[in-house]
Amino acid sequence: MTDKTFIPFYDIKKYPDEVLVVDAHHPQGFDLSHWRGAPVPKNCEADTSTEIVLKAIQNNLPKLDKKYVTNNHYDIDGFLGVWAVFNPKEALKHYDLLTEMAQIGDFREINFEYSEWKKALKLVCWLNKEEAELFYPPFGAPEIAEKEMEACVPKYIHFLDAFSKVVDLPIAEVPYTEEFNLVLNHLEKIDNQETIDDIRMQIVYANEPLHYYALYSKSQSADMVMSIYSDNRYELEYKYTTWINTTRQHFPRISMEKLCDQLNEIEESGKTWEAEHFTDTAPILRLKGEKLSKKERFQSPCFRPVYASSISPDDFQNICINYFRSHYERLSKGVTLDWKEVRKLNEMVFA
């Protein structure tokens, strides 16, 4: 296979049709990505971009021979896909481990039936720690797309070498991080959880706000996660799995604006309910305090304020469940729609 060179995303135009685009989309590159609009090669369909790359390697796709590789951002799934392109034999040897890491990093889900899930989690937490300490955390670069396209390049250069030195280590030798211990601790702090199958909602009950990897750990069959904490503290978030293209059958996203209106009619705490637009990567319904940046919203609930509501837990759950149930009964689960279709659908639903 041709030796690879990682290039900045904006340099694709210098090498038209000679670039592998991992976990992103560009019309002049060959996409290996789960992004909406990115065509997935036949027989390479998967939920994460990493597994799309792994299947492409398994299938010996001729286009993998391209010299240049790029991505317009750095995250766990994007990095592991790029690493697999640079290290195809090693990647196939670690197929299950890389797939599990990608799902933890991108979807915050854990497959507890996978025997090495703790090693996958520990490696993800190590990558998070190294990224934050040596560079900047996710969404920590200036919020200008071109800045991230440029600023992420040194991360890829560094981790392509650094990850190769740890992926083969037994779990006991993978560097320890406080985050790893925190996730294991928070998995034990979940009081109960249930899935409302007809609207694909996971409800998680805990005393205090959790780390995302614990909160979403068993949400594989859900499109959104509701958190119920002590003292009438709640959040409801659409999962990233409904923003990208996956093999999962899910409901299209609908606006939570009218849901906020319903909650605000009875909220007496002095705060108001708000939620990002349905096209955001992961809209969160929450009581508004200080406005959170994208970086703060990406951080786990345990690292941000979750405010007390005057609404009881039962009323909050019933209002939210009935809201989605009343709209989803007219809609069908299916493949990911493009954003134009989702906007038209919302115009129809809320006409």
Residues 167 and 229 placed together within one structural domain of the fold: no
Residues 342 and 252 placed together within one structural domain of the fold: yes
User: What whole-number distance in Å separates Cα of residue 208 and Cα of residue 52?
Assistant: 36
Q: What domain range includes position 69? A: 5-176
Residues 235 and 159 placed together within one structural domain of the fold: no
Per-residue pLDDT 10s for the chain (351 aa) are: 679 999 999 999 999 899 999 999 999 999 999 999 899 999 999 999 999 999 999 999 999 999 999 999 999 999 999 999 999 999 999 999 999 999 999 999 999 999 999 999 999 999 999 999 999 988 777 666 568 899 999 999 999 999 999 999 999 999 999 999 999 999 999 999 999 999 999 999 999 999 999 999 999 999 999 999 999 999 999 999 999 999 999 999 999 999 999 999 999 999 999 999 999 999 999 999 878 888 888 899 999 999 999 999 999 999 999 999 999 998 999 988 899 999 999 999 998
Residues 226 and 292 placed together within one structural domain of the fold: yes
Q: Is residue 183 part of a domain?
A: no
Domain total in the chain: 2
Domain end marker among 149, 176, 203: 176
Residues 88 and 163 placed together within one structural domain of the fold: yes
Domain end marker among 118, 153, 176: 176
pLDDT at 224: 98
Residues 40 and 130 placed together within one structural domain of the fold: yes
Residues 139 and 216 placed together within one structural domain of the fold: no
Residues 108 and 253 placed together within one structural domain of the fold: no
Q: Is residue 236 part of a domain?
A: yes
Residues 131 and 244 placed together within one structural domain of the fold: no
Residues 81 and 9 placed together within one structural domain of the fold: yes
Q: Is residue 96 part of a domain?
A: yes
Domain end marker among 126, 154, 176: 176
pLDDT at 145: 56
Q: Is residue 219 part of a domain?
A: yes
Q: Is residue 184 part of a domain?
A: no
Q: Is residue 181 part of a domain?
A: no
Residues 31 and 55 placed together within one structural domain of the fold: yes
Q: Is residue 99 part of a domain?
A: yes
Residues 130 and 210 placed together within one structural domain of the fold: no
